[in-house]
A and B are shown apart, each in its own frame.
Chain A
């Protein structure tokens, strides 16, 4: 049994005059201890997927239309609110994008870590604080700083605190929603290195949401490429990086500057993502795809396994035409 199995998940945001299909029929699997990178551009539905796992989608306007999210075989969409609260932070926890705003400005950092521990573990205030100090030390902050407020910390340190909070109860799954986007590059490297280390130490599976393929290369075992609410390609990191098949994945790699080639201009993907309130019939990527044919405009594309563990949602790629 996989740790997390998402089956046919669909999430919509319903406004008065349109229905925004943020996630459409998404399938995703994460094995215990593994890291899955979820890559896609802004608005592809990455964060929505993450929030649905924790059932934190704001309803209304959001609505989980259908599907199952099986966590250790239990459907998270069906458990009671109390059960869900017991899971949040304890078995599944989340690191938010911006560490500047993810900490309560008026509570001392040590107490913020201890709070999660107290919520989920049956222990005294002192014991929770002991563990909070240990967690601070684990993420590389002197425990003496536990009595400081978040504004006395730098961005990188705040993100460490956020990570300490997320890992405090040794969750089985950690959802990291662009954990390094708000940090500068040197700090990014430090934080990623630390996350990798801690992931092994706590044996935590991770869903790494990012739009930086460099981060994926550094941290992930599997990669899922997301476009307009659906997965377009999925496979192990070697497969995706060495043999990307979907035109969109190819486009993403084409847009990365290379160290060893001397090019004047990057090759961006032309156009914009389709309006999620009016998705095109057929392939969602057709408007930006240089290989699109009439069939692509007619038929919805199937998510097909082209080699063991490597799925692509593109008919022409499946047929070997690209």
Chain B
């Protein structure tokens, strides 16, 4: 190491560049943000409940029992039972596994798709931009759920297919947001400076542009988790998403719709969980966006 000998300060490279780890920095800032911490707690509790569902309930979510139909919440069935006498608390816990998993996969797919298309359109401009943007416009003109139904019926049911069906309509709005952000960032002087120091296009996009678009991306992703859960329920409702006996929040909710006037728990509890999920992820997403931005530090 030639440069070390030339340096006047004798401390080692490791000492000088000991990373106050980026991760720890971000976490520290996240925990100091009170609403963000609440959001994180909500998300954590939901995920723990869902992942360790058997610990929190002894009921089988699929076991029907006709005499126990439409029971109101009691010490035995804390959320009551549904139209087939299945324990609602168990169905919500097990159903959350599928809802959250599909919603997450769909968010990841649509975000990655949006990043790729949006950054290409925004960065390269010209014909590339025209083609991508026009295709996105066409996609946006089709109602999201309708497009999801079309894709889902083409691909068939199943977890990954459902996630894909939900993710694809989500690409267009995300790509638009990224495109406009990229367009404003690519004219920043630091991008030009990086170009002047010999960076390739790919490197410019990956290192200098996309990390600077992270804020709208996170907001978009956390907001769309809630929409995704509703879309899954929509697909389940017409029999394309999750198949009938399998519990799923949206599916439970749409069953409950039938009994809305007479039996409130069947609508209230799945809706409460969907709401908590959306609230939790939005609060968490906002805080994460702030925490990831080093300029807002302290």
- Please give the residue numbers on chain A whose beta carbons come within 8 Å of chain B beta carbons, in ascending order: 54, 56, 85-90, 93-94, 96-98, 101-107, 110, 115-116, 119-120, 126-127, 129-131, 133-134, 137, 142-144, 146-147, 149, 151, 162, 165-166
Contacts and interface: CB of A to CB of B under 8 A. Distances in A.
Interface string B185-202: 000111011111111100
B190 A130 contact: no
Interface of B: 1, 3-4, 6-9, 11, 13, 16-20, 188-190, 192-200, 203, 207-208, 211-212, 293-295, 297
A143 B17 CA distance: 9
A229 to B, nearest CB: 22
Given A110-B17, A120-B198, A94 B193 contact: yes
Contacts, number: 112
Contacts of B8: 137
Contacts of A166: 197
Contact of A104 (B4, B190, B195, B293): B190
B197 A101 contact: no
Given A87-B198, A130-B13, A106 B212 contact: yes
B117 to A, nearest CB: 23
> What is the predominant secondary structure among interface residues of chain A facing chain B?
helix
A88 B19 contact: no
A96 B192 contact: yes
Contacts of B18: 147
Given A93-B196, A126-B13, A151 B295 contact: yes
17 contacts: A86-B198, A88-B195, A101-B188, A101-B189, A103-B193, A106-B212, A106-B294, A115-B207, A129-B13, A133-B3, A134-B3, A134-B7, A143-B7, A143-B9, A144-B9, A146-B16, A147-B20
B294 A85 contact: no
Most buried by A among B11, B18, B190, B200: B190
B192 A56 contact: yes
Given A149-B294, A149-B295, A54 B13 contact: no
A119 B189 contact: no
A147 B25 CA distance: 12
Contact of B196 (A89, A97, A115, A134): A89
B7 A103 contact: no
A93 B197 contact: yes
A133 B198 contact: no
Contacts of B13: 126, 129-130, 133
A126 B15 CA distance: 12
Contacts of A110: 17
Nearest to A126: B13
A119 B199 contact: yes
B3 A89 contact: no
A106 B293 contact: yes
Contact of A102 (B4, B190, B200, B297): B190
A101 B295 CA distance: 13
A106 B211 contact: yes
B294 A56 contact: no
A212 to B, nearest CB: 20
Nearest to B296: A151
A54 to B, nearest CB: 6
Contacts of B7: 130, 133-134, 137, 143
Most buried by A among B18, B197, B211: B197
A87 B88 CA distance: 67
B294 A137 contact: no
B187 to A, nearest CB: 9
Contact of A85 (B193, B200, B295): B200
A106 B196 CA distance: 19
Contacts of A104: 190, 194, 207-208, 212
A166 B196 CA distance: 9
B17 A147 contact: yes
A142 B19 CA distance: 16
Contacts of B190: 101-105
A102 B197 CA distance: 12
B294 A105 contact: yes
A236 to B, nearest CB: 29
A120 to B, nearest CB: 6
Q: Sort A-B residue pairs by CB-CB distance and give the 10 closest, nearest first.
A: A89-B197, A89-B198, A88-B198, A101-B189, A130-B3, A131-B3, A134-B3, A94-B196, A104-B190, A149-B294
A129 B200 CA distance: 21
A90 B199 CA distance: 11
A166 B192 CA distance: 13
A102 B193 contact: yes
Given A106-B293, A134-B7, A96 B195 contact: no
Contacts of B293: 106
Most buried by A among B13, B208, B293: B13
A89 B199 CA distance: 9
A120 B196 CA distance: 12
A56 B17 CA distance: 33
